[in-house]
Amino acid sequence: MSELLQPYNERMMEVLLYIQRNLDGDLFPETLAEQACFSVVHFHRIFKGMIGESLKEHVRRLRLERSAYRLCYTESSVIDIALDAGFESPETFSRAFKKRFLISPSDFRNNSRAMLAPGGEGKINYHPNPSIAEFELDKTPHTCKVDIRIREETQVVFIRHLGPYFEVQIAWEKICGWGHDNGFLGAKTEFLGLSYDDPDITPGEKIRYDACFSVTEEVKTPPEMGMQIIPGGKFAVTTHYGSYEGIHAAYRELYGKWLPSSGYQLKNSVPTFEKYIKVPPDVPPEEAVTEIWMAIY
């Protein structure tokens, strides 16, 4: 198990150290994903699963912890430290700092030696030497059940939704209404959702999602809909039982726990998709059944 995990751990540790060395930079997700050899959306999911926080949360926390280090060991003013951390004003910095350390920056400076003692509540991961860090990868074993399945490519009719994931029902009502009225929906129809963006990174109004249903041949669609092919191949499949509010935990388990220890690699060219087995209003939200299909090799 440890031998299988090692390549993922090494790649993630390189990313963590790169972030620490470049805290003053923009740290574009595309750059970090390329360094880790993942697509951007896969990278975000793996990062959150292995590290336990999103990339945005991680960078923000490290910048705050670097600020704590400077409050403790330098004479820099709170204003300068706030600006160096990327905050627009001392007020926004103070609010974020107090949320992280439960104490104001000025009080932290006065009590910093005790706050940063080993094992203390204010323990930080930042280190002034950019090649040294105290990062801890989440090594708890996965609890999700995963099946390896082979499937053929799937031809689908889809409609693109732009906006938060909790609003995708609008797209589903449109495409299912059209599919029903034109006789394309039957007992063997698959209902699939393609998610392209991570809501922890992408602004809500920019999130892309395709609501799809399968067809056996090409059909003429209205202008707001289209046709596409979902590639076939080998997939890791896990099933989420319950409302969609809890599905993010299933993604974290699959990407951050199961994948690194599986011996498989992600197939970046194929988006992960959801297959809806039981859905509201046919069943109560807590009885919904959703399969998550992740392409691997």
Position 288 in a domain: yes
Regarding whether 275 and 161 lie in a shared domain, the answer is yes
Q: Give the predicted TM-score (pTM) of the model.
A: 0.69
N-term to C-term CA, the chain: 18
- Residues 219 and 97 grouped into a single domain: no
- Please indicate, yes or no, if residue 67 is contained in any of the structural domains: yes
**Looking at residues 227-238, what average pLDDT do you find?**
97
Are 111 and 161 within one domain? Answer: no
Is residue 101 located within the same domain as residue 223?
Answer: no
Q: Give, in order, the Cα–Cα distances in Å from 188 to each of 54, 172, 180.
A: 38, 18, 14
Q: What is the CATH number of the domain that holds 102?
A: 1.10.10.60
User: How far from 136 is each of 51, 65, 67, 124, 153, CA to CA, in Å?
Assistant: 8, 15, 20, 12, 39
Q: What is the tens place of the pLDDT at every residue in 249-283?
A: 899 899 888 998 898 988 888 889 999 999 998 99
**pLDDT recorded at residue 184:** 97
pLDDT tens, position by position, 181-190: 999 999 999 9
Burial of 144-167, coded b for 16+ CB within 10 Å and e otherwise, reads bebeeeebeebbbbbbebebebee
> Distance between CA atoms of 177 and 170, rounded to whole angstroms?
11
Q: Is 134 part of a structural domain of the chain? A: no
Domain identity same for 75 and 31? yes
Looking at the structure, tell me whether residues 158 and 266 fall in a common domain: yes
Q: What is the per-residue pLDDT across 106-165, written as a single tens digit (0 to 9) for each?
A: 888 888 655 554 444 445 556 555 555 555 556 666 678 999 999 999 999 999 999 999
- If phi > 0 it is left, if psi is from -120 to 50 it is alpha, else beta; for residue 37 that is left
Domain end among 68, 94, 115: 115
The CATH number of the domain holding residue 183 is 3.20.80.10
Count of domains observed in the chain: 2
**What is the DSSP annotation of 193-206?**
EEE---TTTS-GGG
Parent domain of 225: 146-295
